[in-house]
Structure formats: C-alpha cells, structure tokens
Amino acid sequence: MTEETLAIASRSSASESGDPAVGGQPSAVVERARHVRLVLTDSDGVLTDNGVYYSAAGEEMKRFSIRDGMGVERLRVYAGVEVGIITGERSGAVQRRAEKLGITELHLGIRDKVAVLDELLARRGLTAEQVAYIGDDTNDVAIMQRVGLAGCPADATPFARAVAHYVCPSRGGYGAFRDFAELIIAAKAEGA
C-alpha cells in the first residue's frame, strides 16, 4: 500500500469507530474539544516544518503555513477561542508571525511550559480542561499531560504521540495546527 492509501484507510476506519459528526473522532476527544477556550501551541515542529535556515549572519528564515494562520483566525471568529504560542526558542521570525496573526500571548525562550500554563490559567480565570495544547517533542509532554485537549502533528516524536489525545493528519508546518483548529471548531459547533 502507498502512504496515501494507508492514510485514507486510516481515516475510513476512524470514521467507523468515532463520532461521524466531527470527522470521525472518538466522542471523548470531541467532548474535550467542546470545552476549549484557549489554544496554546509550540512553534518549531508545529507552526513550522521543524527546519531553520541559517546564513553567516545567523538565523534568517522559518517556514510557516498560511493555512495554519487561517486556523488561528477561524478559531477566533467561529469558536471564540484565542491562541497563544509557548516556545523554547527566541526567534524574531516567530515574533513577527505572532504579530501578523494578532497573537498576544507570545512566550519566547520558555523552558518550563507548565509554569506559563499555570500563570495563564490564573490570569485568565481558566481551568486546565479549558485549554488545548499542540506540541511535537519531549519538551511539550509535561504541558500536554496537564491540558484538557492535547494534540500533535503527524510527524511528532513518539514521546508527544504517546500523550496526545489527537494526532493530526498533517505534518508540522504543513497544516497540523489547522487540523487541530478545525477539530475544535467542529466540536464546538456541534455542541452549540
């Protein structure tokens, strides 16, 4: 079987066992998604393709998906959900992308993502169950274990995949964030 055939077969079997109203997702995942009021994301490996381009002057470029950017906007407009970025990197490219998308919860150079989550919960009056997080590697596992809905891109490490409630069909930087956003939008629309 080709990779495309396997992906189609996987989606078909998921539809048979899941909630057909929300893309074939299991009802437990859909229920978690209905409670989300804030989506937090890692940057590298989720919003980007996990690559970075360096020149003699240092970091120059990161690749972001325009579809993921539309996912941020759709979450705001259709689900009333805000988005924040928590990343271990200090990157001007990530800062510029956040500004373009109107993301005000931007946390750069973070080593303890759970501490940022705790601060956000207190400041915004939210519970952990009302927060979703999408990450791709070992530095995301602790926060993924704390939130109500955890997702990861299709190409995430086994560490992140092991704790994710939802594995996106798309890879990081190629629509994974959009997949996660659309799951939440559809779940909230169905629950309305």
pLDDT tens track for 65-103? 999 999 999 999 999 999 999 999 999 999 999 999 999
- 43 lies in a domain? yes
Q: Which of 179, 162, 134 is nearest to 23 (CA)?
A: 179
Comparing 21-25, 73-77, 123-127, 136-140, the range with the smallest average pLDDT is: 21-25
Q: What is the pLDDT of residue 56?
A: 84
* Phi, psi (deg, nearest 5) at residue 90: -115, 100
Mean pLDDT, residues 127-132: 98
34-65 per-position pLDDT tens digit: 999 999 999 999 999 998 888 887 777 899 99
In which domain, by residue range, is 187 found?
31-191
Of 29 and 4, the structure prediction assigns the larger pLDDT to 29
- 164 lies in a domain? yes
Residue 69: count of CB within 10 angstroms of its CB: 17
Q: What is the pLDDT of residue 59?
A: 72
- 45 lies in a domain? yes
Q: What is the pLDDT of residue 22?
A: 63
CATH at residue 68: 3.40.50.1000
pLDDT for 2 beyond 50: no
Inter-residue contact 133 to 181 (CB < 8 Å): no
pTM, 2 dp: 0.86
- 5 lies in a domain? no
- 15 lies in a domain? no
- 7 lies in a domain? no
**40 φψ region: left (φ > 0), alpha (ψ -120 to 50), beta (else):** beta
What torsion do the CA atoms of 141, 134, 80, 119 make, to the nearest 10 degrees? 30
Tokens of 162: 């092991």
78-87 per-position pLDDT tens digit: 999 999 999 9
- 11 lies in a domain? no
pLDDT for 107 beyond 50: yes
Domain count, the chain: 1
Alpha-carbon span 159 to 80, nearest angstrom = 31
